[in-house]
Amino acid sequence: MKEIGTIVIGSGPGGYIAAIRAAQLGQKVIIIEKGDLGGVCLNVGCIPSKALITAAHRYETAIHSDDIGITAKNVEVDFSKVQEWKGKVVKKLNSNVQDLLKGNKVNIVKGEASFIDANTLRVIDENSTQTYTFENAILATGSRPVEISTFKYSKRVLNSTGALNLPEIPKKLVIIGGGVIGVELGTAYTNFGTKVTILEGSSELFAGSFEKQMSSLVSRNLKKKGAEIVTNTMAKDVEENEDSVIVKYEAKGEVKTIEADYVLVTIGRRPNTDEIGLEQVGIEMTNRGLVKIDKQCRTNVPNIYAIGDIVDGPQLAHKASYEGKRAAEAIAGHPSEIDYLGIPAVVFSEPELATVGYNEKQAKEEGIDVVAAKFPFAANGRALALNNADGFLKLVSRKEDGLIIGGQIAGPNASDIIAEIGLAIETGMTAEDIALTIHAHPTLGEITMDAAEALLYKLK
């Protein structure tokens, strides 16, 4: 029996950040992980997918730069080396997480955890069973891909992990689900030369998570590269052969089939709230299997907290990290609370998409009188010099005082540019504050300033 101040279950971007913050605040902390440090995001999610996207983009750029006077011949992909490089990126970050935890005196325990009661936890590994008593616990167990009964995962029916670790570039790939994961991996393999078909159940990509003008840019670009997008469709079943799959789907009342090397299923993720003994301590759950929490990430059991994919809200790595910090601070007695307005959402598509705070429609539905202004990347010098000027940046402000309450970006480096708008929301900046901030020229960041100036003109 070992006594611990704070115990964290799960070492993903929520868990390891929570453990570090708790240790920095003077708590004696251990973190329990049954797999690899870093969780899904680092090992089979955010990081390896972005590495694959980068490699595919480099290849596509190498063979399609004739319009700027650069012609490359005999460009080839050694996919085994791509996968090897991707693995090195993951391994490096995995090592970094371990060093960070050890550097902050967080004890790492490998094994599967389950609650005995509200202050006792059992951890089982291959060789032994250890029992821990604790004052506080933070649940950060993450999520796993949803499996369709008619599309059981196999050699050629893949989830996102399988799609990231293919031994070769497929000639044809069917993707069920046009959400973030489906579009990102679809974009990567399209750039590698795969004939990609996306089957999406709603009327547009991302199922309304982004403004239609934003999702339409991504859809148009994918089609331009040769991908096929079928909306308002329902995947029915799959026939798997030794070297191919035949996917049956229904669209416009007609049943059709399509043959491919693989089918990737990306219809969502399920919270990992089973098999850890939550029923033993009476943790209150939603009907979706999520853990109910308050503004400090505390469950109905006062000394147990929950963060990340197992609680309500978008399944984002940075949301989990943010919640992890708030939970650790709450345990330390700080008045920290969660506020999701400033949390951005990003898609590494082409063009990249990013949003934070309110969009126009959301603000109006909340009864907020707003003014919005857009500025095109086509009028930005740096974007033109990058030969990548498709898209726009929009700022949304409160009409009464010009307070920035939201922003949306579709364009190059949207994932980086969105941070300034997030900062504006968090610190209560107005359109004038952004317009008066001197931005270096020529940079993509100037587009935020230009949009703010356009917004000021409309606010007059």
pLDDT tens, position by position, 64-108:
999 999 999 999 999 999 999 999 999 999 999 999 999 999 999
pLDDT at 280 over 80: yes
pLDDT at 3 over 90: no
**Model pTM above 0.85:** yes
State residue 282's pLDDT score.
96
d(CA 36, CA 46): 15
Concatenating the DSSP letter of every residue in 27-76 gives: --EEEEESS-TTHHHHHHSHHHHHHHHHHHHHHHHHHS-GGGT----S--
Compute how many other C-beta atoms are within 10 angstroms of the C-beta atom of residue 211: 18
Closest to 279 (Cα-Cα) out of 260, 263, 309, 299: 299
Name beta bridge partners: 123: 113, 130
Residue 126's pLDDT band (boundaries 50, 70, 90)? confident
d(CA 131, CA 379): 62
pLDDT at 219 over 90: yes
d(CA 435, CA 220): 32
Two tokens at 19? Answer: 């453990």
Give the chain's mean pLDDT. 97
Sequence-separated (6 or more) residues with CB below 8 Å from residue 243: 261
pLDDT at 2 over 80: no
Residue 334's pLDDT band (boundaries 50, 70, 90)? very high
Two tokens at 444? Answer: 């993509």
Sequence-separated (6 or more) residues with CB below 8 Å from residue 175: 182, 185, 186, 196, 197, 198, 199, 263, 264, 266
Amino acid at 84: E
Q: How far is CA 359 from CA 285, 303, 351, 370, 396, in A?
A: 30, 37, 19, 10, 7
**E strand or H helix that includes residue 220:** helix 212-224
Cβ atoms of residues 164 and 192 within 8 Å: no
Closest to 388 (Cα-Cα) out of 226, 223, 221: 221
Closest to 52 (Cα-Cα) out of 160, 156, 159: 160
State residue 116's pLDDT score.
96
Q: Domains in the chain, ordered, with CATH?
A: 2-145+270-341 (3.50.50.60), 157-267 (3.50.50.60), 351-459 (3.30.390.30)
Closest to 119 (Cα-Cα) out of 136, 139, 138, 141: 136
pLDDT at 1 over 80: no
Concatenating the DSSP letter of every residue in 355-386 gives: EEE--HHHHHHTT--EEEEEEEGGG-HHHHHT
Three-point CA angle 161, 163, 165, nearest 5°: 75
Give the mean model confidence (pLDDT) for residues 191-219: 96
State residue 16's pLDDT score.
98
Sequence-separated (6 or more) residues with CB below 8 Å from residue 54: none
Length of the chain measured in residues: 460
State yes or no: is 64 an active-site residue. no
Name beta bridge partners: 112: 124
Catalytic hit among 57, 64, 318, 441: 441
Q: Find where tokens 């004939």 sit.
A: 195
Q: How far is CA 317 from CA 266, 273, 322, 338, in A?
A: 17, 17, 9, 15
- Reported as a single tens digit per residue, the pLDDT across 299-324 is 999 999 999 999 999 999 999 999 99
Phi, psi dihedral angles at 69 (to 5 degrees): 90, 15
Closest to 411 (Cα-Cα) out of 387, 432, 428: 387
- Reported as a single tens digit per residue, the pLDDT across 220-271 is 999 999 999 999 999 999 999 999 999 999 999 999 999 999 999 999 999 9
